[in-house]
Chain A
Amino acid sequence: MTEHEVILPKTGIYEGDVVLVEWLVDEGARVSAGEPIFVIESEKVEMDIEADTDGWLHREAEPGLEAPIGTRIGVICPTEAEHRQIAAGP
């Protein structure tokens, strides 16, 4: 697997659960490092989370998910072909 995990991140000193508020880009979209790709809520503050690498996004979680820091919510695939393969499922 060469894809890059997208996780609910730790932001600041808060260590409790984080809410995935919304995705800012579509399933399968090409994203680039630094581009905001989803919004989280942590300690009642919403913030954009940026992609930390280039690639094609596969979303694995729905908005409204409330989960611990580090929870995987998607992947960024280095090629479109890999994204197609992952999106097709196992």
Chain B
Amino acid sequence: MTGPDREALERGLRVMTRIRAFEDRVMREFAKGDMPGFVHTYHGSEPVAAGVCAHLTDADMITSTHRGHGHCIAKGCDFEPMVAELYGRETGLCRGRGGSMHIADFARGILGANAIVGGGISLAVGAALAARVLSDGRVAVSFFGDGAANQGIFHESLNLAAIWRLPVVFVCENNGWAESTPVSYSTSVADIAERAAAYGIDGAVVDGSDYAAVHEAAGRAVEQARAGGGPTLIEAKVTRVRGHYVGDPEQYRSREQRRAARTADPLARLRAEIDIGDYEQQVVAELDRAYESARAAPWPDPAQVERFARSDPPPGPEPASDPPATERQGSYLLAVHEAIASAMRRDPSVIILGEDIAGGAGLGPPLEGAMGGTFGTTKGLIEEFGPDRVRDTPISEAGFVGAGVGAALADLRPVIDVMWASFAPYCFDQIFNQAAKMRYMFGGQTDVPVVLRMAVGAGLRAGGHHSDTLFSIFAGIPGLKVVAPATPADAKGLMARAVAENGPVVVLEHMSLYRTEGPLPAEHYELPIGRARVVEPGDDVTLIAASAGVVMAVEAAEALRSAHGISAEVVDLRTLSPLDVDTLAESAGRTGRAVVIDESPPRCSVASEVAATVTEAVFDRLRAPVARVTSACSPVPFSPPLEDAHLPTADRVVSAVLDLVGRQTK
């Protein structure tokens, strides 16, 4: 490929002129004090955004950084909604929910600036995965800085993109500084592009101040990606002309060094060669109008502070709260399997990915008898749906969860198997900062239809790294819906609903329940998220539980009835977030007592949340405080007597009820 022709250079200079004028203006206006928060400008990197995005269409997707104005402008964003977003106004691109560091424009394929260093890299891999699965010719580009190249997610993402030969281009804008830490100190190689070799992909160093050079290198990489030739890592060396953020005292470099940096002007060369007339004045006038309009634009309505935090329920009426009646019996494991298989048959955009979910899929045929997940929940799916939709991953939780989230932004509905919930901290950024926040931060521009499956539960003598339930960790995150089914019929209906939901849903499958049997309707059905279920009616006390806790509650209810003449009502939460407050309040208000069973540790637990919620709702009808039966406040131990002591049991539930009854003095 040859370099850009004169027309391309002129277009590039115009884009760079827009970026420069925008950022100069941001600095001036920010100084006045009425722009909230803080901003990072793109001075010095203009040729990179302009030269790369010159090869992209609106359908192509980019992920950006906290320093993302240049990427947005190069990808075609209008000034007016950008500036309004910088001022936190309702007319902003993200309706004021995101701001400069989380600006996004999905209509232009901008999947968001990302203020988590490296946060966008795996999302771009996922967007490219969607393009590959859907064979639609789209390309994804991830812009990130030199600091991000030292994040684990960079390495996981490059490996994933390489093994799957995805249509993605990684563009590292190396300005020499990660905030105040020089790249010479932080980075093991002279050129970050060398790291491409570690993953067997092409790497290229390019002078990021040279528009023609960036244009040529990016053109080659984008063409290769589009043609199925796989990813490229481009390292663009740029100068950090300004500070890390506007108002950075830049204590890490001297006045002389700062002065020298300020003189770098990557637009100078093209400006000397090409006359674009009064274009700059036109841009300034456009900015005048954008600032005038943004400052006059309405603020978001404080009454809408929670708007966009959770996805809307799927269209259509809410399904019945109970599963269809059936004579058929089946296991919890089969229930999960059937729900996923049925969702995949009904909707070609559903894919599944995770470690060992096919098991040996990378080895090619014969696939018959492939492992199908650690617990066998996805056994047989690779044979039916093929390796494109049933995708084994390397042990890269952050990478493949990020890829799943990115694919959810790009028209797929991924069901991701994280395997043990204890592994989820490796992908906490992808769950917490990305999947759960995006709809909100981007002002409702996108949904994130992704299902995160995790196996939870202790009692299998597996020790501290394979036994957690993490109920409150996920239930405490705004933006996530969390279900923890207790029966095969619920496991099937809630999984089916989770896939149909438009927002991220965490499905916690209890390991001790996989082999349990119960009624299991054969047909496809969904159960509503956010609806608890009265398992057994009772009069004297309400036992509230989820997942395997329901088994304990039923056992305790039986003991209370037979040994103590106490009638206990058992309520299965089914959904940990959002809680079904109405059902809980109705039951506890009627019985006057409640005990909450929770397999997670007690501090800030779902049990605590339920206790507070019930108390707030029906305090005047309670005859005793709400009691909690939780695991011990320790990691899950290995030694059997210790593990048994750690966990809640039916006996402890019975004791808690007897204690409540005894405390009743009024």
Contact = CB atoms under 8 A, between A and B. Distances in A.
B284 to A, nearest CB: 13
A50 B263 CA distance: 13
Interface in B145-187: none
A15 interface: yes
Given A34-B262, A52-B27, A52-B28, A12 B247 contact: yes
A70 B30 CA distance: 10
B38 A12 contact: yes
Interface string A50-66: 10100000000000000
Nearest to A36: B255
A75 to B, nearest CB: 14
Contacts of A10: 30-33, 35, 247
Category for how many chain B residues contact A: 20 to 34
A12 B32 contact: no
Given A36-B255, A52-B28, A13 B37 contact: yes
Nearest to A48: B255
Contacts of A9: 30-33, 247
Interface string B19-39: 000001001101111110110
A50 B34 CA distance: 20
A46 interface: yes
B245 interface: yes
Query: Main SS of chain B's interface residues?
Result: loop
Category for how many chain A residues contact B: 20 to 34
B249 interface: yes
A86 interface: no
B258 interface: yes
Interface string A1-17: 00000010111110100
A70 B255 contact: no
B2 interface: no
B247, B248, B262: which has the most chain A beta carbons within 10 Å?
A: B247
B540 interface: no
Contacts of A35: 259
Contact of B31 (A7, A45, A46, A48): A7
B32 A46 contact: no
B251 interface: yes
B250 interface: yes
A47 B249 contact: yes
Contacts of A7: 31-32
Nearest to A6: B31
A69 B32 contact: yes
B246 interface: yes
Given A9-B247, A46-B249, A52-B28, A69 B255 contact: no
Given A48-B258, A52-B28, A15 B33 contact: yes
A70 B38 contact: no
Given A48-B258, A69-B32, A11 B246 contact: yes
B31, B246, B262: which has the most chain A beta carbons within 10 Å?
A: B31
A34 B32 CA distance: 17
Nearest to B25: A52
Interface string B246-274: 11111100010011001100000000000
Query: Main SS of chain A's interface residues?
Result: loop
Nearest to B30: A10
Contacts of A68: 33
Contact of A70 (B32, B246, B259, B263): B32
A69 to B, nearest CB: 4
Given A52-B27, A69-B33, A12 B251 contact: no
Nearest to B263: A34
A45 B250 CA distance: 10
Interface in A33-51: 34-36, 42, 45-48, 50
A33 to B, nearest CB: 9
Contacts of B33: 9-10, 15, 68-70
Contacts of A48: 255, 258
Contacts of B35: 10
B32, B33, B258, B259: which has the most chain A beta carbons within 10 Å?
A: B33
A45 B243 CA distance: 15
Given A10-B33, A15-B33, A45 B249 contact: yes
Contacts of A34: 259, 262-263
Contacts of B38: 12-13
B30 A47 contact: no
Interface string B22-62: 00100110111111011000000000000000000000000
Given A34-B262, A36-B255, A12 B31 contact: no
A55 to B, nearest CB: 14
Contacts of B249: 11, 45-47
A45 B246 contact: no
Given A34-B262, A52-B28, A47 B37 contact: no
24 contacts: A7-B32, A9-B30, A9-B31, A10-B30, A10-B31, A10-B32, A10-B35, A11-B248, A12-B247, A12-B248, A13-B38, A34-B259, A36-B259, A45-B251, A46-B249, A47-B250, A48-B255, A52-B24, A52-B27, A52-B28, A68-B33, A69-B32, A69-B33, A70-B32
Interface of A: 7, 9-13, 15, 34-36, 42, 45-48, 50, 52, 68-70
Given A10-B30, A36-B259, A50-B262, 9 more contacts: A10-B31, A12-B246, A34-B259, A34-B263, A35-B259, A45-B251, A47-B250, A48-B258, A69-B33
